[in-house]
Amino acid sequence: MTYDYDLFVIGAGSGGLAASKRAASYGAKVAIAENDLVGGTCVIRGCVPKKLMVYGSHFPALFHDAAGYGWKVGEAQLDWEHFITTIDKEVRRLSQLHINFLEKAGVQLIQSRATLVDQHTVEVDGRKVTADKILIAVGGRPVKPDLPGMEYGITSNEMFHLKEQPKHIAIIGSGYIGTEFACIMRGNGSQVTQIIRKDLILKGFDEDIQLEIQEGMTNHGIQIIKNSVVEAVEQVPEGLKLTFSGEHTEPLVADVFLVATGRSPNIEGLGLENAGVDVAATSIEGPGYNTMNAIAVNEYSQTSQSNIFAVGDVTDRINLTPVAIGEGRAFADSEFGGNRRVFSHENVATAVFSTPEAATVGLTEAEARSQLGDDAVKIYRTRFRPLFHSLTGASDKTMMKLVVDANTDKVLGAHMVGENSAEIIQGVAIAVKMGATKKDFDATVGIHPTSAEEFVTMR
């Protein structure tokens, strides 16, 4: 049978862009459909604009720290409108850049929503087209719990378009999105209250990372309400009133309310049922939190239909931009490049751009002990004040940790909290991925004086 395209991609985010360009480089006829700005969550309303906001939020601390080095810095004030507008301009520039990359690769961009009609047909831009293979890469979206007053809350999507800086922002959610925005807004001078349902933020991270970041956030003036759940939100003359159950019962009033309670694969309206594509249920704990569905795939990103594939957050594996890119390229190599391969989801490094920053790769201490037993795990840990702060007077600390297999000496995990954590762990991740031992770390000469050298001097 003759098809209109060898590959039709639904969604021009990180995974879809990577797969379409790679497939086109092998000579495939490729089209990609997107009904939003090209670039996906990362470029439009995720990693990139968020990191720019993180950079901006660090300047007040830098102005303060400069005094310790003899600099006299005058009164500083944030122009919020300029801040938000310039970030939006950069987002749009990057989106156009990705469109240019598609054109150079020979990928046809259809700026319209696409839905599945059957196993080989999609409806897009008011017409039906056919494809030998279809790739779904539509990502995810923020979701709110089904609780009274949630319509007054904004999500991470709207955080990049606030017309005014909040005087007081309340945030529910203990994950990296809520934590990062709490630190961003506090750094920019807003009063911040973060509400979490457990004792610690960042569930799933190594406990030392959880403890260090939470302590650092508290020291920087963020109020964290623990073991409490928002029961309802209502509009009052002073702003938005939040009522709670749990340890904290006193109502709280803020002028902006951010809901950062998770993201859901963006499968609604895709027509998965028309093509017989199966989904798998995942669940979020707690009252008002709904079960969500992700597209079920095998190790080759293949769905229940042999010619339909899915990559990225819509599959709910590891929801990170580099993972979506890696899955997309592995798919294209396998299906169009004659190089059938699986993308490895093991030892994927990640970071939390909070203040203090954190990064991690490999097993947490708890995971290692669960898999190997307590006697087979050896922990190396250091905590110190970085040299930079020896003159600033700040109490900020850096924590580094290695999780090691006591029987093989293999480094199973590396974790860090402190300035430049992400930049440092990126290099350490290479060693962990290659299976380096603690002796290999010890044999590496450190660069002095740096914080990073502590990873090769821990005893």
Instruction: Cite the active site residues.
Output: 448
Computed from CA positions of residues 318, 321, 323, 329, in that sequence, does the dihedral angle turn out positive or negative? positive
Q: Phi/psi zone of residue 111: left (φ > 0), alpha (ψ -120 to 50 degrees), beta?
A: beta
Cα distances from 84 to residues 79, 150, 171, in angstroms, run: 9, 25, 20
- Residue 182's φ and ψ, nearest 5 degrees, are -60, -45
Residue 378 CA to residue 34 CA, distance in Å, equals: 49
Q: Give me Rg for the CA atoms of the chain.
A: 24
Q: Are 305 and 275 in contact (CB under 8 A)?
A: yes
Residue 133 CA to residue 324 CA, distance in Å, equals: 18
- The amino acid sitting at 181 is F
Q: How many CB atoms lie within 10 A of CB 128?
A: 11
Helices (H) and strands (E) counted in the chain, each on its own, are 13, 23
- The amino acid sitting at 162 is L
Computed from CA positions of residues 369, 225, 355, 218, in that sequence, does the dihedral angle turn out positive or negative? negative
Residue 12 CA to residue 102 CA, distance in Å, equals: 10
Q: Are 162 and 87 in contact (CB under 8 A)?
A: no
Q: Are 142 and 61 in contact (CB under 8 A)?
A: no
Tokens in use for 133? 């293979």
Which is it for strands 30-33 and 108-110: parallel, antiparallel or unpaired?
A: parallel
Nearest to 65 by CA among 226, 187, 172: 187
3-class secondary structure per residue, 24-44: HHCCCCEEEECCCCCCHHHHH
Cα 285–291–292 angle (5° rounding)?
125
Q: How many CB atoms lie within 10 A of CB 125?
A: 12
